[in-house]
Amino acid sequence: MHLTAKNQVDETKANGFFSEEELTRSGVVEKHNVILTTNKECSFKCVMCDLWQNTLDYRVENGVITKQVKGALDELPKAKHIKLYNAGSFFDRQSIPKQDTFDIADMLCDYETLIVEAHPKLIGAPCFEFSEYLQPQLEVAMGLETVDPSVLPQLNKNMTLDDFERSTTRLLEHNIFVRAFILLRTPWQTEEEGVYWAKESIDFAHSIGVECCTVIPTRPNEGMGDFEPPLRKSLVEVVAYGKSKNKGRVFGDSWDEV
């Protein structure tokens, strides 16, 4: 139960779609199509996550998400890379039914890369089976959030660093690429602590083989009191730090101010 009402969303169409330029693993900036699907709310309900605002309270019927993706693909330009983000986990069958994941794969044969998001605890046989079936290279983005030991347990993420590392290792063993989402400043960190722990989180991700990190400034969410979002200069500092390590791509997600 949320304190505020959700936005009205329509299951007959994707919640959003657009194109953006992004640096690829091979070092060139290329167009990535992005589709935000409309589906059931994620069951994890992490403290800092406001993605529930654009979700449904029920699981959609088989075929609904496939139609959403088809509708968006029809309008999107040609691109080599595509992100399918579902405000949760792509392998959560309550969010995206199993048959839809394969029907969607059939529509993406011309792409080189597919990036989806998933909670580390949902990395397993369904993910590996999907990757085997999929024509494009699969990349899975998982929320590492923070390695701050006093904060991670408070996020209600239901995940330890061991869980994250184990899932990363299994993905890499199956030739699936990994992207880590890292929070910049959580509700229990000062600005300085937020910067420190975001840098530590990048180092941890690199140390376990993650090639791509996206640093996300935490946004105020219900239940976070008078939380102040981090400063823009902190994001610039953390991203510059990550890039200086030369261990992979590091992005800063500046939400609307890209």
Considering the complex, state which of residue 65 and residue 87 has its C-beta at the smaller distance from ligand SF4.
87
Please pick, from the candidates 34, 69, 87, 239, the single residue that binds ligand SF4 as defined by CB under 6 A.
87
Q: Does 217 bind ligand SF4 (CB under 6 A)?
A: no
Considering the complex, state which of residue 105 and residue 183 has its C-beta at the smaller distance from ligand SF4.
183
Please pick, from the candidates 42, 65, 123, 134, the single residue that binds ligand SF4 as defined by CB under 6 A.
42
The distance of closest approach from Cβ of residue 88 to ligand SF4 in the complex, given in angstroms and rounded to an integer, is 5
Nearest to 212 by CA among 141, 163, 147: 141
CA distances from 184 to 1, 46, 116, 153, 256 (A): 26, 15, 21, 16, 16
By the 8 A CB rule, do 219 and 207 touch?
no
Considering the complex, state which of residue 79 and residue 145 has its C-beta at the smaller distance from ligand SF4.
145
Q: 129: number of CA atoms within 13 Å, CB side?
A: 9
SS (H, E, C) 79-90: CCEEEEECCCCC
Q: Does 141 bind ligand SF4 (CB under 6 A)?
A: no
Q: Does 47 bind ligand SF4 (CB under 6 A)?
A: no
Considering the complex, state which of residue 143 and residue 217 has its C-beta at the smaller distance from ligand SF4.
143
Backbone phi and psi for residue 132, each to the nearest 5 degrees, phi listed first: -65, -40
Interface with ligand SF4 (CB under 6 A): 42, 44-46, 49, 51, 87-88, 119, 143, 157
